């Protein structure tokens, strides 16, 4: 091409802009914890002793029996597609575990994903449209705000407090609800603060969600 731009370039050549990525991809942003992790790993390679507080991983190695189970699964040929919601036996085990902790669920209500971000992405894409609003905790997991923005909706933060008996004020959450509010994102125990909400607060939030028809 005479303006200096080749097919496949993403740079600007002459007076014509080359191919570009969609704005929504840029709107997702990055999670600072992984930038810090990359720098910390580099310092470790340089011989520095690092205490990791960025990525939320345990300090201990994966238990040997889990490692062996993974290796055995590969040897047994369990490397093919499975049902989209996950391996049936795994979904049944998760439902049983949830029931033991007081949350009733059937295997049909369980969907397995490779990490929480993918599930947050799928759920919010299914529930939010352009112009909607989602209530998100502040401080909160970065994916809540970025995925909400990706859908074209608006993230409306509600405050979390380290003081008092509970981490949030239900009346404050209620005051932020508008006719455009579709989703209330609730995280307990909370990431990154670690606070768990009392049953009293959870019940008040559940009643609020039922009354306003919030997801």
Predicted local confidence at residue 12, as pLDDT: 38
Quote the distance between the C-alpha of residue 78 and its chain's center: 27
Q: How far apart are CA 116 and CA 87, in angstroms?
A: 17
Does the pLDDT of residue 199 top 80, yes or no? yes
pTM: 0.76
pLDDT at 47 > cutoff 80:
yes
Predicted local distance difference test score (pLDDT) of residue 24: 76
Structure tokens at 9: 């370039």
User: In the structure encoding, which two tokens stand for residue 33, read together?
Assistant: 């914890």
Q: How confident is the model at residue 17 (pLDDT cuts 50, 70, 90)?
A: low
Task: Single out the residue of 167, 159, 170, 177 nearest to residue 215, CA to CA.
Answer: 177
Task: Round to whole Å and give the CA distance between 161 and 169.
Answer: 9
Expressed in percent and rounded to 5, the helix, strand and coil fractions of the chain are 40, 10, 50
Q: Specify the pLDDT at position 171.
A: 92
Q: How far is CA 26 from CA 20, 38, 150, in A?
A: 11, 20, 9
* pLDDT tens-place string over residues 69-128: 999 999 999 999 999 999 999 999 999 999 998 889 999 999 999 888 889 999 999 999
CB 155 within 8 Å of CB 177: no
**What confidence category does residue 28 fall into, taking pLDDT thresholds of 50, 70 and 90?**
confident
Helix axes 116-127, 142-150, angle to 10 degrees: 40
SS3 33: helix
Taking alpha carbons only, the member of 142, 139, 116, 148 closest to residue 36 is: 142
The distance from CA 41 to its chain's CA centroid, rounded to whole angstroms, is 23
The position carrying tokens 């933060």 is: 157
Q: How confident is the model at residue 45 (pLDDT cuts 50, 70, 90)?
A: very high
Write out pLDDT tens, residues 53-78: 887 777 789 999 999 999 999 999 99
The DSSP code sequence of 34-86 is HHHHHHHHHHHHTT------SS---SSPPPHHHHHHHHHHHHTT--S---TT-
Average pLDDT over residues 154-165: 82
Q: Using the predicted structure, report yes or no on whether residue 164 has a pLDDT greater than 70.
A: no
Average of per-residue pLDDT across 15-36:
76
- Ordered by where they begin, the domains of the chain are 31-76 (no CATH), 81-112 (no CATH), 114-212 (3.40.640.10)
Poorest-pLDDT segment among 25-29, 39-43, 171-175: 25-29
């Amino acid at each position: 091409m005479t303006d200096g731009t080749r097919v496949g370039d993403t740079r600007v050549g002459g007076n014509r802009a080359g191919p570009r990525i969609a704005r929504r991809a840029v709107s997702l942003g990055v999670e600072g914890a992984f930038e810090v992790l990359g720098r910390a790993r580099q310092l470790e390679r340089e011989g520095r002793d690092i205490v990791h507080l960025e990525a939320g991983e345990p300090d201990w190695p994966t238990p040997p029996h889990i490692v062996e189970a993974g290796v055995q699964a590969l040897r047994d040929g369990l490397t093919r597609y499975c049902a989209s919601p996950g391996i049936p036996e795994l979904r049944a085990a998760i439902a049983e575990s949830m029931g033991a902790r007081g949350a009733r669920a059937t295997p049909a209500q369980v969907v397995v994903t490779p990490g929480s971000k993918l599930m947050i992405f799928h759920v919010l894409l299914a529930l939010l449209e352009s112009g909607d609003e989602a209530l998100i905790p502040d401080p909160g997991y970065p994916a809540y705000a970025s995925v909400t923005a990706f859908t074209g909706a608006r993230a409306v933060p509600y405050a979390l407090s380290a003081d008092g008996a509970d981490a949030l004020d239900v009346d404050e959450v209620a005051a932020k609800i508008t006719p455009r509010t579709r989703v209330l994102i609730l995280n307990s125990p909370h990431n990154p603060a670690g606070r768990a909400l009392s049953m009293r607060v959870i019940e008040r939030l559940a009643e609020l969600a039922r009354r306003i028809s919030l997801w």
